[in-house]
Structure 1
Amino acid sequence: MTQSVPLTPNPDNTSGGNSLPLILDTLPDVSPLPTRGILRVQQQLDLLLLAIEALRLGASEEMLAVCQSLGLQGIIHNRVDLWRLRSTNPWRKCYNRANLTPDQIKTLIVLINFCAKRLLVPLTQLLLAAQQMKDKDIPLENNFRLSEYFSRFRSHFASRMNPRRAKVSVYLASSEELNSLAFSLLEELLFFSGTRGIERLLIRLFDGEVD
């Protein structure tokens, strides 16, 4: 199912009624957004957030708390706002055909970076465990914590993504493929959790087209 839901923030969401968070001004300008590839950008942002949810129970509430602590309520005030932005991922069952604005993209980038920083310890532990399993030629699923993460990710992915999408159907047909996607997102989250994580994510999303 696709739908067109306005992505403009709720008028009641603005703090002080006008200005955007100062933290967004510290990021490189991403406007005008490149027409080609914008759907891939929106898809990748949602998948990174999906991985964060699979890593920690209650991550959705934590995302909203991060938005409040960073003064991002003018763009993401509640669950509905966050859902609207994430539904621009074309793989979603409830796909919103509207494109994200530059400020909405930067808000999600900041959110991912700060959530990844908070998850630095479990991210590091999981990736170290994975390396040890690979060194011993043991399947990653044999590690309890990795298996738990993969299981949650598969569950989230299956419940939210549209099986009629060709790539989604491929992932849903193979636990191995879906686990591989989940693991690659772990590696990306660790990469984006550093002091220059925001800039790294911007560059990765736009393939160096950001000024």
Structure 2
Amino acid sequence: MSISVPTWGDIPLTNPPTPEQLYQMQTHLDLVLLASEALIGVDADMLLQATLDLDISTSLVEKAQLWSNRNKTTDQNPIHSFNVEQLRSLILVICYVNQRHQELIRRAVTLLEQVTAQNKNPAQTTLLGNYLNNFQNFYGNNPDNSKLSPDQQVKLASKLLIDLLFYSGDRGYDRLWLALLDYKS
């Protein structure tokens, strides 16, 4: 499976985001990483291999800290120190990894649709139960994230799971980049 670096990676933004917009973009991307890690089990080796496959600097992976490795007392989100160009590269890496696990993402989304249509609890299925448990454990490790109730966390996890389906498809990096740019409007 190959992915080419899109042309937008070389085009500068004509209207760069404000610091607040950049923070919002970084937060959204970090949540996408959280969902990927919770479902797929993304680890540093997977991210490193993706950077090598895409010919992106491996220092990007060193700078991005996985949710499972974050310290509960650390309130600094590592992705919040990224600039726009680094965010673009990280988008490529995250979408590449998700694309390689697209079948698992499809199964999870299909299962979510089925249990939702049947008014059943998604956490009672193995695949979704593991995903939701991982998501809530990783999310709860960050002291800044205590604002959401467990029900709200499940809704967020479900929304992000569906988003992963779009980001794992063809041109998923474009979709994610456009979603992040929505924070500029």
TM-score, L = length of structure 1: 0.72
The answer to whether the 8 A contact 2:30-2:79 is kept is: no
- Match of residue 30 from structure 2: 46
Give the corresponding residue for 2:165: 190
Following superposition, the deviation at residue 143 of structure 1 comes to 1.2
**SS class of match (2:147):** helix
Q: 1:104 to 1:126 in 2, by over 3 A?
A: same
Q: Offset at 1:31?
A: 5.3
Aligned mates of 1:109, 1:97 — CA distance in 2: 12
Query: How is 1:132-147 mapped onto 2 (pairs within 5 angstroms)?
Result: 132-147=114-129
Matched-pair contact (CA < 8 Å) for 2:116–2:122: yes
Cα deviations by residue, 1:18-49 (Å, 9 ceiling, x for unpaired):
xxxx8265435335521041111000111111
Distance of 1:122 and 1:95 partners within structure 2: 28
Residue equivalent to 1:34: 17
Unaligned runs of 5+ in 2: 67-73
Matching residue of 2:69: none
| Native 8 Å contact 2:32 2:160 kept in 1 | yes
- 1:113 maps to 2:95: yes
Equivalent residue of 2:128, what SS?
Answer: helix
8 Å CA contact 1:54, 1:152 repeated in 2: yes
Task: Give the corresponding residue for 1:66.
Answer: 50
Please give the residue correspondences for 1:69-80 in structure 2 after superposition, counting only pairs within 5 Å. Answer: 69-73=53-57, 75-76=59-60, 78=61, 80=62
Looking at structure 2, the residues matched to 191 and 97 of structure 1 have their Cα atoms a distance apart, in angstroms, of 22
Cα distance change, pair 129–95 in 1 and its aligned pair in 2 (3 A): closer
Distance in 2 (alpha carbons) for counterparts of 1:199 and 1:106: 10
For the Cα contact (< 8 Å) 2:27–2:79, is it kept in 1? no
Tell me whether 1:180 sits opposite 2:155 in the alignment.
yes
Question: 2: distance between equivalents of 1:176 and 1:98?
Answer: 26
Say if 2:21 and 2:183, in contact at 8 Å, map to a contact too: no
Q: Could you tell me how far apart the structure 2 residues matched to 1:132 and 1:122 are?
A: 15
Which structure is higher in RCO with an 8 Å CA cutoff and minimum separation 6? 2
How far apart are residue 98 of structure 1 and its match? Answer: 6.3
Q: Across the two proteins, how many residue pairs are aligned to each other?
A: 173
4+ residue segments displaced more than 6 Å: none
Q: What's the Cα RMSD here?
A: 2.6
After TM superposition, the structure 1 stretch with the greater mean CA deviation from structure 2, 66-75 or 94-103, is: 94-103
TM-score by length of 2: 0.81
Partner SS state of residue 65, structure 2? helix
Paired position in structure 2 for 1:18: none
Gaps of 5+ in 1: 1-21, 85-91
Q: Which has the larger radius of gyration?
A: 1
CA contact 1:126–1:145 (8 Å) conserved in 2: yes
Counterpart contact for 1:38–1:99, Cα < 8 Å: no
* Structure with greater proportional helix content: 2
